[in-house]
Structure 1
Amino acid sequence: MGIIEILLIGLGLSMDAAAVSMTDGMCGRELSRGKTFLIPASFGIFQALMPLLGYYAGSLFSEFLDAYAGIVVLLILGVIGGKMIYDGLRKEEERVCRRLTGLTIFLQAVATSIDAFAVGVGFSAMRVQILPTVLLIGAITFVCSLTAVFVGKRFGNWLGDKAQILGGVILILIGIKSLF
């Protein structure tokens, strides 16, 4: 497998992480510098870790993953997105943009990287040099997610209070997409 194919796979795998990062930026306009970098770092690490695990697990878990990955992603992102929509619809004086905790970031990173496990299984079958491949995928995801956080902050300022509702809808749509 050549570098171009790996770059394209990395970009493809990073798109869900970038979309979630954008919603985090939209709803977390006052994100600290640390969390602004924790978000893409978490997504990058998990997008690299999951294909590595898939590579070494081979086909051991692939049937289970194929059967339930979409449901798990939908549940995680659906709950987070539903809470965002609920919080966004609350009365103005009760509305507080969702606190972006380390646990929330962790769950988002796991949910958006589950499909990368299956890619790792494929890498195992193709005997890809796994270490440089996963490092490149992680770096691509980090850059895409970091860019998306900043774009989300910009649009979040523009959208104001509606950003949280839009972010919740986006997360739920990503979860639904994972079923297909």
Structure 2
Amino acid sequence: MDTAVAVWGQLATLLVMAFALGLDAFSLGIGIGMKGIRLIHILQIGLITALFHVLMPLCGMFTGYYVGTLLGNVATAAGGGLLLLLGGHMLYSAMKGESAPSFDHGTLWGILLLALTVSIDSFSVGVSFGMFDSDLLLTVLLFGTFGGIMSVTGLWLGRRAGHWVGEYGEAFGGIILLVFGIKFLM
């Protein structure tokens, strides 16, 4: 019974974290989509963003696992602190009102840079999850799926014109990361 509860708790945590990290791609996608984007570019950006949302947390988890074996019991506190810092930074950036960087999303380098930009926080969260010995395959698949789907959704909605979520998506994601950071520190 306790094992089943732990598995469902881990799944719920991963789903919420994947959603929170996908909000960054979603909100940036809205901004880019509002500038005008072709459907083929929406699909390309979505696929590459999904790939980066798999690779970045994977690298982070390996790093976190290594750091976790070095730090031992301090790893949980370090992971929670990292989530607090990341969530605080996302919230600060959203409140400060930094505009989305302008990318030439029609080139491979532009798409790669865009995907890296929206998935860099997945690396940090991956480090935290590596310290907690999270399920590797489930984590990266959920992060990749949510990152890709939310990127495509944001680009498509932005293309259709929707200025309402772009400003608040990153703030909401930051709040979610702050809450989990506090939870891991308790």
Structure 2 partner of 1:28: 36
Structure 1 partner of 2:157: 151
**CA RMSD, 1 decimal:** 3.7
Structure 1 partner of 2:13: 5
Cα deviation, 1:123-177, whole Å, max 9, x if unaligned, reads 1111111012111111011111111111001117xxxxxx9xxxxx97xxx7xxx
1:126 aligns with 2:166: no
Contact 1:44–1:141 (8 Å) recurs in 2: yes
Structure 2 partner of 1:57: 63
Amino acid in structure 2 at the alignment position of 1:48: V
The aligned runs of 1:75-114 (5 Å cut-off) are 81=101, 84=102, 99-100=104-105, 101-114=107-120
The aligned runs of 1:157-168 (5 Å cut-off) are none
Amino acid in structure 1 at the alignment position of 2:18: G
TM-superposed CA distance for 1:34, in Å, is 2.3
Structure 1 partner of 2:178: none
Contact 1:46–1:113 (8 Å) recurs in 2: yes
The 2-side partners of 1:147 and 1:133 are apart by 21
The 2-side partners of 1:52 and 1:104 are apart by 23
Contact 2:104–2:111 (8 Å) recurs in 1: no
The 1-side partners of 2:146 and 2:121 are apart by 16
Structure 2 partner of 1:142: 148
Structure 1 gap ranges (5+):
85-97, 157-162, 164-168
How has the CA–CA distance of structure 1 residues 24 and 4 changed in structure 2, closer, same or farther, with 3 Å as cutoff? same
How has the CA–CA distance of structure 1 residues 99 and 126 changed in structure 2, closer, same or farther, with 3 Å as cutoff? closer
3-state SS, counterpart of residue 155 of structure 1? coil
- The correspondence for 1:16, drawn from 2, 20, 24, is 24
The 2-side partners of 1:38 and 1:56 are apart by 27
The 1-side partners of 2:151 and 2:112 are apart by 14
TM-superposed CA distance for 1:19, in Å, is 1.1
Which portions of structure 1, spanning 4 or more consecutive aligned residues, are displaced by more than 4 angstroms?
Answer: none
The 2-side partners of 1:79 and 1:3 are apart by 33
